[in-house]
Amino acid sequence: MATTAKITSKGQITVPHQVRRTLGVGAGDRLIFEESVYGEMRVIPVRAESPFARYRGIGNPESALASGRL
């Protein structure tokens, strides 16, 4: 994917929708701009917790037994 963004006079950019979607980020999320050893810049989303954390325990047979659902 190749896309462009314009930098404002205040140094701000709007991250294109497809890039936000690919990175899994939205309003208020943070991004890291990291320079590689080859001089390229990488954009990495900051993850405070695993994106799968909210699904932890779903489908776990032990939790179903403990709650009396089985």
pLDDT (mean) for 16-37: 93
Residue 45 lies in a domain: yes
| Residue 41 lies in domain | 17-66
pLDDT (mean) for 17-36: 92
Q: pTM for the complete prediction?
A: 0.60
Residue 24 lies in a domain: yes
Q: What is the DSSP letter of 48?
A: S
Residue 51 lies in a domain: yes
| Contact (CB, 8 A) for 31 and 23 | yes
Q: How far apart are CA 52 and CA 56, in angstroms?
A: 7
Chain segment 33-66, per-residue pLDDT in tens = 999 999 999 999 998 777 677 777 777 666 555 5
Residue 57 lies in a domain: yes
| Contact (CB, 8 A) for 33 and 41 | yes
Number of domains present in the structure of the chain: 1
Q: Is the confidence at residue 1, as pLDDT, over 70?
A: yes
Q: What share of the chain is helix, strand, coil (3-state, %, to 5)?
A: 25, 15, 65
Residue 44 lies in a domain: yes
